[in-house]
Every structure is written in structure tokens, then in C-alpha cells.
Amino acid sequence: MNEERVLALAGVFQGAALAQQMATEGRCDDVAYEASLASVFRIDADSVAAVYGGVSGVRRGLRTLVAQFEDNTRDIAVMRMAVTVLRLERSLSRHRGLLDRLREGIVSSQRQVEHFGLDHPNVAARVAELYATTLSTLKPRVMVTGNPAHLQQKANVDRVRAALLSAVRSAVLWHQIGGRQWQILFYRKQCAMLARGLLTGSTLDNGL
């Protein structure tokens, strides 16, 4: 396990944590959500950190990693979602046509981002539609449980799906740089230690 893989894995866990928060509370960490959504559109970033606009873009994901791998504050729903996302990415990799459709959809959605801005509901709706017509058609499906009142509101569902799409984008990145699911099992302590180090470094960089 190295820092780049930990960052990509943090991106997976951040997307899952945001989707879960949205489903249960009807809101989520806006700063983390924007960083995750922006990562979907950074297809040609020159480093893993650059995908998230810097290490600070996945602080929420790094904290989630530490909580899941080291502390006694594990959130089973988030863990289940993250592992399903990693499996879903493997399933996606075997469906070339669907992968191409997803890429084309992201490129065309970029024009909406430029027009409306990343945090506009239209962008979330477009990305959510993309998720529903591509990734939702594959197995395994990511199951999201939460407060029915929140999950009946389209704007909330759109953000849940957008967060999940960002998690899949990070899963693609994780696999590209040599990440494998068994590593999560065998390198949990090392992963948490690296995540803590990255969190400390990003705090120092931001002067917080």
C-alpha cells in the first residue's frame, strides 16, 4: 500500500460516506461533495492528488478510512457500500460499451458544469441520470439505506447517485494504480497509518 493508493481509496470511501450522509440526514459535507464531484470531470489529471484538487479534497475520505480501519467507530453501511463500489468497478471494466457511454456522458456533462457551475442541481441531476442509465444496470448494485423522507426527494437522490459515481471514478483510479481488494484486508493498519499521515500533511499545508 502506498500514499497514492490510499488517496484513491479515500476517494471511494468519501463518495460512500457522502451518499450515506445524504440518505440519512438529507444533507452532506458540501466541501467534500464538491471535491468528489469535481474528481469525476478530472479525467486527465497529472497525479492522484490532482484528481481531488489536492489532498485536502479527500480529507473526509481519509478520516473515514481511519475510522473504518483503525478505530472502533466503524460504519457498516459505509464499509459495505465502498466494497460494493470496488466490485462494481470490476464489473464495469468488463463492459466496454457501457464504459464508453459513461465516459461520453461525463464529457458532455462537462459543458453543463462550465455553464451552471459544479454545485448547481442541474449538474447533480445529469450525473445522477448517467449513473442510473449505466452503473445501475450492472451487478452488484449499490444498496443505499437511509431515511425514506430524504430518499423520496429527487434532489437528494440525485446527490446520492452523484456521490456514488464519484466513488466509482475513484475505484477506477485505485485499480489503475495497482489497488486490489485483498489489500484492504491485509494492509488495514498500514492504510490507516498512511491516511493519518496524509491528513496531518494536508492540515499543515492548509495552515489549519
CATH classification of the domain holding 91: 1.10.3890.10
Cα–chain center distance at 88: 13
> What integer pLDDT is reported at residue 127 of this predicted model?
96
Angle between helices 30-41 and 59-69 (to 10 degrees): 110
How many domains does the chain fold into? Answer: 1
Q: Is the pLDDT of residue 105 over 70?
A: yes
pLDDT tens digit sequence for 15-70: 999 999 999 999 999 999 999 999 999 988 899 999 999 999 999 999 999 999 87
What sections of the chain are H helices per DSSP? 3-25, 30-41, 48-51, 59-69, 76-93, 96-116, 121-133, 148-151, 154-176, 181-186, 188-205
Which residues does 100 contact at the CB level (< 8 Å), separation at least 6? none
pLDDT tens digit sequence for 162-173: 999 999 999 999
State how far the Cα of 197 lies from the Cα of 151, in Å rounded to an integer. Answer: 36
**Exposed e or buried b per residue across 18-32, where buried means at least 16 C-beta atoms within 10 angstroms of its C-beta:** bbbbbbbebebbeeb
Q: Is the pLDDT of residue 208 over 60?
A: no
Domain enclosing residue 71, as ranges: 3-205
Name the pTM for this structure: 0.95
> What integer pLDDT is reported at residue 202 of this predicted model?
81
Q: Taking Cα atoms as reference points, which of 61, 62, 71 lies closest to residue 19?
A: 61
Question: For a pLDDT cut of 70, what percent of the chain falls above it?
Answer: 97
